[in-house]
Structure 1
Amino acid sequence: MTAITRNLPWFVKDLGVSIVGEKCYVSLVENLNIEDVDCLKYALSKGLGIGIVVGGSIMKVPQLLLIVRAKSARGLSLSAYVLETLSYAITLAYSYRNSFPFSTYGENFFLTIQNIIITLLIIHYPTSRLTRAQSTAPRLALAAALTAVSGVVLYAVPPSTLSALQVATIPLSLFSKLPQIRQNARAHSTGQLSAFAVVAQIAGCLARLFTTSAEVGDPILTAGFALALVLNVVLGVQMWTYWGKDGREAGVSAGSKFEEREMEKISTNTWPQNEKVEVIVQPASPIRAGTPTRQQPGRKWARKVD
């Protein structure tokens, strides 16, 4: 078997070396040394990292399709997506400027882009009646400008400041999930939230905890992924609990539902058929003999009573 693995085509060898390095390629592929625990762990980490990057490139696509098809962002929290996008962008800049392997942070590049698009769609399809009546063009322009400015700032800030920002992603991740969790709890529904995206984020955080500890060993990144895992699990539990709910707006109460039913009755002119209406006719005052009769103003006819 080693006679075959040691004579693989050059492009296969170059690809393997670029992924796991010369030492681990020779040990695992050419010599088939499955007892090399360090190289096995490193190769597993690399494989998971590449899978996460590929998965991250399509993770939010189902969420995008849900919004576009429904032409609604109901159930999605704008503040949650803004904070989550900022957290992704900071981690992307921090990892890139520290020259970490792309397999340890590549999904943040794709998730940042996808989250920016989702955020703009939430602004374009507002959920409240007040904002729907207004033009979304100024808000979209402002959001695009702030996004561009944030990207320039993250690229240009000093490394010490960027490290402080990376530490800030830990509470930022917390605050980015809390608005969505709170909105789901109030509405008893997850609205247009994509189940695929939630499950993929849980799996991605689990894998990232392993790859970060195996390849980078950065405690800041590890803590951030651990917190993100806990919050994504909460979203997953809400998705399971509220699955199949009608997803009406959280502000609909029992009183408003009653008013809607009453208005519907009035609009359709439905009245109880068995209801009787009693009409009381006052008796006419007696007329004395010899008194001329005069028609009352406004009365154009008189009724004779036998």
Structure 2
Amino acid sequence: MSSPIIVLIKAVYSDDISNKVLIQMAFSQAKAIGYGRILAAVLGSATVAVSSFIRIPQIRKLLIKSEKSRISVAEGLSLDGLGLETVNYLIHAVFNAQNKVPFINYGESLLLGIQNAIIILLAKFYRLRAYGEIDDFSNLDCKQKVQAVAKSKVANTLAIMVAATVFFTKIAPPQLISALQILNIPFSVIAKLPQIRQNYKLKTASHLSETVLTANVIGSLIRVYTSFTDYSLKSKRRKDTSNEKILVAGYTASLVMNSTLFGQAIVYDKLNKDTEPTEDKDKKKNE
């Protein structure tokens, strides 16, 4: 016997069924599955889809404008925080894959981790350019550029990333991954602290993409909802909900920290706008 969803799909292409009957069938199927579960699935799929490119605005900040601007952005980013966050994403993805959790429930962790790795490598490169450890690329051909990067500390950073990926996906036992997933909660908080401290020190968050900050808050909020929906469903069926509790706690912690970074961007942007007129007046007086 075909599943209700298959029956509904076949009905869409049937000439013998009116639109009214089709709509009634759709609503009855949605009610049977549960509106909350359907919404969670849709939001989860949307989150994974958007996460495939959501960090691109931050990557663009490290690729466009002048080299001086790129170096400024690179120095404003916390590599320690980004590195720890990327490891958290990797552990989270491996943990969910090992527990056979649907990809739409954690896929953004893998995609965000890849984009984070690109940001780290670019930021590392421009920091080394600022320190004079990498020569100017303007007069080098493609082969010479690759050789220069291969001899720099950027290659060391890439090697560490590859080694960490191999360890967590191929070598680390499931028990270790489960333990690290629990520690993922305090780590997710700790990972954001260096960037929060850096923003406070610089009194600006202009080096961060507002699009990315906004998306991080929305994404965390969606994940709190989807993971809580899974927890509620298993709880009603009296199944083990220990993994779901860990995920809910982790996403809630991420929501708090992402909201803090978003708040910093708003506050510092307003402060900088308020101080600009005062600085302009002082310049006119001096003239």
CA RMSD of aligned residues (A): 2.7
Partner of 2:86: 85
TM-score under structure 1 length normalisation: 0.68
In structure 1, C-alpha distance between the alignment counterparts of 2:266 and 2:228, rounded to whole Å:
30
Is 1:116 matched with 2:85? no
2:8 touches 2:26 (CA, 8 Å); kept in 1?
no
Unaligned runs of 5+ in 2: 1-6, 15-21, 135-148, 232-240, 274-287
- Are 1:28 and 1:40, in contact at CA under 8 Å, matched by a contact in 2? no
Q: Which runs of 5+ in 1 are unaligned?
A: 11-26, 248-306
What is the aligned length?
227
**Aligned equivalent of 2:160, options 146, 168, 172:** 146
| Whole-angstrom distance in 2 between the partners of 1:7 and 1:127 | 62
- State the 1:192 CA deviation: 1.5
Q: Secondary structure at the match of 2:269?
A: coil
| 1:84 Cα offset (Å) | 0.8
Percent pairwise identity: 30
Which AA in structure 1 matches 2:188?
A: S
Task: Return the structure number with greater helix share.
Answer: 2
The one of the two structures with greater contact order (alpha-carbon pairs below 8 A, sep at least 6) is 2
Match of residue 138 from structure 2: none
Compared with structure 1, are the counterparts of its residues 28 and 170 closer, same or farther at alpha carbon in structure 2 (3 Å cutoff)?
farther
TM (norm. structure 2) is 0.72
Q: Aligned partners of 1:35 and 1:150: how far apart in 2?
A: 42
Matched, 1:8 2:12: yes
Equivalent runs, 1:154-233 vs 2, <5 Å:
154-156=168-170, 157-215=172-230, 218-233=244-259
Structure 1: distance between partners of 2:266 and 2:215: 15
Distance 1:169 1:31 in 2: 40
- Alpha-carbon distance in structure 2 between the residues aligned to 1:202 and 1:37: 31
2:224 aligned counterpart, secondary structure: helix
Q: What whole-Å deviation, never above 9, does each CA across 1:111-146 have from its counterpart, x for those lacking one? A: 0110000000110011895xx222364311111111
Structure 2 SS opposite 1:126: helix
- Contact 2:133 2:152 (8 Å CA) reproduced: no
Q: Deviations over 1:224-251 (max 9, x none)?
A: 111110011110110001116779xxxx
CA distance in structure 1 between the aligned counterparts of 2:207 and 2:119, rounded to whole angstroms:
12
1:42 maps to 2:37 = yes
